[in-house]
Amino acid sequence: MACTKENPDDREKGQAGAPAPDEGKSMDIVCLDMEGVLVPEIWIAFSEASGIPELRRTTRDEPDYDKLMRYRLGILKEHGLGLREIQETIAKIDPLPGARAFLDELRELTQVIILSDTFTQFAKPLMAKLGWPTLFCNTLEVAPDGEITGYRMRVEKSKLTTVKALQSIGFDTIAAGDSHNDLGMIRASKAGFLFKSTDAIKAENPDLPAYEAFDELLAAIKGVLG
């Protein structure tokens, strides 16, 4: 099979005849965090719905995500909870008030991708309630009997990596999120906003506009659309 090696110098020069990058209308895409922004924190909601307080533990308590996930899967196994039971519980969780209307209006204006560290199988009932927006997240490994046996993370630092990849194919990204793991994509974007964030994160990032209401966020995004 023929294989052409890319010469790094060609990238610097650009391709002959190709329009300069600043020509034409910019192609915006909005990248939104999911949990805490559009829907409640899934594990906290699931902890409450299932009555298993140990599942309240989040990345704020345990920064090592692998360790945290192994801990969570261990608890699920202990309680005999498989994917079906979890999806039934998650199906009772509703998006945050106003999230669906916000997303519907935003998706009429521009392209939107939800970037989340959750898993497709957990998010599915919530995506149904949000009108099936595009979601880039991770995948659970599930045995035929429904036991969750493991999980597969799509890529390292998925939000920042995805935003950079979108930029590499001609998009200007606009990002919003509530948490530490959103700061990378927020700072790497043409415009970035904190939304329903914590006082600590807002204090640590005083230069980032921070909003609490969907109409404020929508107005801010409208203000930067090309």
Binding footprint of Mg ion on the chain (CB under 5 A):
33, 35-36, 178-179
When the beta carbons of 28 and 35 are compared against Mg ion, the nearer one is 35
Residue nearest to Mg ion (CB): 36
Catalytic residue among 22, 23, 28, 35: 35
When the beta carbons of 81 and 176 are compared against Mg ion, the nearer one is 176
**Least Cβ distance, residue 73 to Mg ion (angstroms):** 21
**Phi-psi group of 56: left, alpha or beta (phi > 0 → left; psi -120 to 50 → alpha; rest → beta):** alpha
- Please choose, from the candidates 114, 120, 97, 134, the residue with its C-alpha nearest in 3D space to the C-alpha of residue 176: 114
When the beta carbons of 31 and 81 are compared against Mg ion, the nearer one is 31
Burial readout 171-199 (b: 16 or more C-beta within 10 A, e: otherwise): bbbbbbbbbbbbbbbbebbbbbbbbbbee
**Least Cβ distance, residue 110 to Mg ion (angstroms):** 21
For residues 56 and 42, the answer to whether their CB atoms sit within 8 Å is no
When the beta carbons of 60 and 77 are compared against Mg ion, the nearer one is 60
**Least Cβ distance, residue 193 to Mg ion (angstroms):** 13
**Using CA atoms, how far apart are residues 200 and 187, in angstroms rounded to an integer?**
17
For residues 189 and 171, the answer to whether their CB atoms sit within 8 Å is no
Catalytic residue among 9, 10, 12, 33: 33
**Using CA atoms, how far apart are residues 214 and 212, in angstroms rounded to an integer?**
7
When the beta carbons of 28 and 33 are compared against Mg ion, the nearer one is 33
**Least Cβ distance, residue 179 to Mg ion (angstroms):** 4
| Residue 214 neighbours by CB under 8 Å, 6+ apart | 98, 99, 101, 102
**Least Cβ distance, residue 167 to Mg ion (angstroms):** 22
33 included as an active-site residue? yes
Residues identified as active-site? 33, 35
